[in-house]
Amino acid sequence: MNKIVVFFLFLSFGFVQAQQLNCTVTVNAQKMGNPNQQIYKTLETSLNEFVNRTDWTEQTYKQQEKINCSMYITLMSHSSDQFTATIQVQSSRPVFNSSYETPVLNINDKDFSFTYTEFENLVFNVNSFQSNLISVISFYTYMIIGMDKDTFEFKSGDANFQIAQMIGTVAQQSNNKGWSQLDGNQNRFFLINDMLSPTYTEIRKTVFDYHQGLDLMTENSKAAKEKIKTSLISLNKLYNSKPNAYLTRVFFDAKSDEVTSIFSGGPSITITDLVENLNKISPINSGKWAMLKY
């Protein structure tokens, strides 16, 4: 087992000062009969403290290095200490030598149920299941950190993804939806297992190359667009073996608007082949690809 992973196994996670995230957690209780109940505000405050004050990696991040992200929880029902909800998770990272933040993750998880008692302590331990609330939030925290790392160095998010996978494995005992391959083919189980599978290495290479292209944009925008184009076309390799890959959808859920923007202005490059491939790889976004300027 990777030594980094073994190191994480014995960590106890508490509220300390070496945080890695700059995360806004919002709890939307508008669908509840009484949205002014204090418990919803307490839950939101507790989650913000949990995510932002926990030291997830034992690495010190300067304030400007913290990962900008958000978790938007929409409560669907609440009875006693039982909640059902959805959670929208988004993250971004700065593009080199610019003020622009590029989206990295944008995922909407509809299989989110949990128990919560007002003022209960939220403490994460990778080796044991505390609650589905803690497991889901911690899982996506590690996904955010791992995916951020992958944009800077190829497959450098592995240690964080391995922790996310361990969270999922432990959480399966709870029988909460989203952790098992029996719960559908686009859930947390497949998100993390596919991310670590050699079968899907190509999409992680695309993620790295794409962001290297973005980081080149202020220096040489034409060369940057060519690099981004090449990274996107390379997804053909994955499409040929896994035409409906969940990770492809996850990638374009975050990037489709940005891709449209990149290739709709600035220095002109040939994109006929790019548009053809995008329509094949991600047909759900065909309306956006139709906006690309040849």
Alpha carbon of 5 to those of 141, 162, 171, 196: distances in Å? Answer: 16, 7, 18, 14
CB 265: neighbour CB atoms within 10 A?
9
From the list 272, 224, 203, the residue with the least C-alpha distance to 97 is 224
Q: Among residues 176, 196, 216, which one ends one of the domains?
A: 196
For the segment 130-147, the average pLDDT, to the nearest whole number, is 98
For the segment 179-208, the average pLDDT, to the nearest whole number, is 96
pLDDT higher than threshold 50 for residue 287: yes
Residues 175 and 284 in one domain: no
Residue 267 lies in a domain: yes
DSSP symbols for 85-115: EEEEEEEEEEPTTSS-EEEEEEEEEEEEEEE
**What pLDDT is attached to residue 294?**
64
Q: Helices 158-171 and 132-152: crossing angle, nearest 10°?
A: 160
Structure tokens at 193: 């297992």
Structure tokens at 259: 């891709």
Kindly report the pTM of this predicted structure.
0.92
Residues 176 and 233 in one domain: no
Residue 80 lies in a domain: yes
Sign, CA torsion 272/277/283/288: negative
Residue 52 lies in a domain: yes
Q: Among residues 196, 212, 233, which one ends one of the domains?
A: 196
Residue 294 lies in a domain: no
Q: Among residues 196, 213, 239, which one ends one of the domains?
A: 196
Strand order across the 82-94 sheet:
21-28, 67-79, 82-94, 101-115
Q: Which residue has the higher pLDDT, 265 or 13?
A: 265
pLDDT higher than threshold 50 for residue 107: yes
For the segment 122-126, the average pLDDT, to the nearest whole number, is 95
Residues 155 and 223 in one domain: no
Cα gap 249→291, rounded to integer Å: 19
**What pLDDT is attached to residue 13?**
40
Residues 65 and 142 in one domain: yes
CA contacts within 13 A on the Cβ side of 22: 11
Q: 13-22, 99-108, 249-258 — which is least confidently predicted?
A: 13-22
Cα gap 147→223, rounded to integer Å: 24
Residue 103 lies in a domain: yes
Residue 169 lies in a domain: yes
Residue 49 lies in a domain: yes
- Range(s) of the domain holding residue 283: 202-289
pLDDT higher than threshold 80 for residue 130: yes
**What pLDDT is attached to residue 92?**
98
Residues 192 and 274 in one domain: no
pLDDT band at 254, cuts 50/70/90?
Answer: very high
User: Would you say 191 and 87 are in contact if contact means Cβ atoms under 8 Å apart?
Assistant: no
CA 130 to chain centre: 22
Residues 40 and 158 in one domain: yes
β 21-28/82-94 pair status: unpaired
Cα gap 155→169, rounded to integer Å: 21
Residues 46 and 162 in one domain: yes
Average pLDDT, whole number, for the chain? 92
Phi, psi of 80 (to 5 degrees): 60, -120
Residues 235 and 164 in one domain: no
Residues 253 and 180 in one domain: no
Residues 42 and 75 in one domain: yes
Residues 112 and 179 in one domain: yes
Residue 206 lies in a domain: yes
In percent, how much of the chain has pLDDT > 70? 93
Cα gap 21→66, rounded to integer Å: 5
Q: How many domains does the chain have?
A: 2
Residues 182 and 219 in one domain: no
For the segment 244-250, the average pLDDT, to the nearest whole number, is 96
Query: Residue with structure tokens 């790889």?
Result: 281
User: Would you say 173 and 22 are in contact if contact means Cβ atoms under 8 Å apart?
Assistant: no
